């Protein structure tokens, strides 16, 4: 055997001896004391963090077409707003919290002559599509809800 081979075998044997000392047969060490200021008898066991909060829902409502829009009224969880003399295309983005029960919305467009299409998506998925038109006045609406499981 060469000196290099002997050194390699000796290093491997030393490594094997170190690794065999890491087995589970050893006596457990002393308990870890609680941090300073902790009540007597308290444990230092880590508890897992709470699960992350669910992200909010994103509702996107878009109105397109050539109708003369007199107004668009939005009712989101009972809070009503109105926009007058709306120019198309129109878009509204609603952010509704998750885990807060049922969240509702309703959008109503009052139109005069022409055509209007209203599309609503929730979290990127299509939910509703409403269309209407003609030579007189009318309303087009879209409504929905999330949550409340």
> 3-state class of 105 per DSSP?
strand
Q: 1-10, 27-36, 53-62, 64-73 — which one is most confidently predicted on average?
A: 64-73
- Dist CA 7 CA 71 (whole Å): 89
* Predicted model pTM: 0.64
- Specify the pLDDT at position 50: 76
Per-residue pLDDT tens for 5-56? 555 565 555 555 555 555 555 565 666 666 666 666 655 567 788 777 788 9
Is residue 27 classed as helix, strand or coil in its secondary structure? Answer: coil
- pLDDT at residue 91 above 70? yes
Query: Which CB contacts under 8 angstroms, 24+ apart, belong to 31-39?
Result: none
Give the pLDDT confidence score for residue 53 in this predicted structure.
79
- Cα atoms in the 13 Å half-sphere on the side-chain side of 97: 5
Task: Output the CA torsion sign for 34, 40, 42, 43.
Answer: positive
pLDDT at 29: 60
Nearest to 144 by CA among 130, 132, 71: 130
Residue 61, both tokens: 């409502």
Q: Domains of the chain (ranges plus CATH)?
A: 57-146 (2.60.40)
pLDDT value of residue 99:
83
Q: Determine contact, residues 53/86, Cβ cutoff 8 Å.
A: no
Give the least confident one: 38-52, 116-130, 132-146. 38-52
What mean pLDDT is predicted for residues 44-73? 88
Q: How many CB atoms lie within 10 A of CB 118?
A: 22
Instruction: Say whether pLDDT at 92 is over 60.
Output: yes
- Residue in this structure with the two tokens 């002997």, named with its chain if needed: 6
């Amino acid at each position: 055997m060469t000196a290099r081979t002997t050194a390699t075998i000796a290093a491997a044997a030393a490594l094997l001896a170190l690794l065999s000392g890491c087995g589970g047969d050893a006596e457990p060490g002393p308990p870890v004391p609680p941090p300073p200021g902790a009540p007597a008898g308290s444990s230092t066991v880590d508890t897992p963090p709470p699960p992350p909060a669910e992200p909010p829902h994103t509702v996107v409502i878009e109105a397109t077409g050539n109708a003369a829009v007199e107004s668009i009224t939005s009712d989101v969880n009972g809070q009503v707003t109105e926009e007058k003399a709306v120019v198309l295309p129109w878009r509204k983005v609603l952010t509704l919290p998750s885990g807060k029960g049922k969240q509702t919305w309703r959008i109503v467009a009052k139109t005069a002559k022409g055509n209007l299409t209203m599309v609503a998506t929730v979290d990127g998925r299509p939910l509703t599509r409403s269309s209407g038109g003609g030579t007189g006045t009318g309303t087009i609406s879209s409504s929905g809800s999330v949550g409340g499981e």
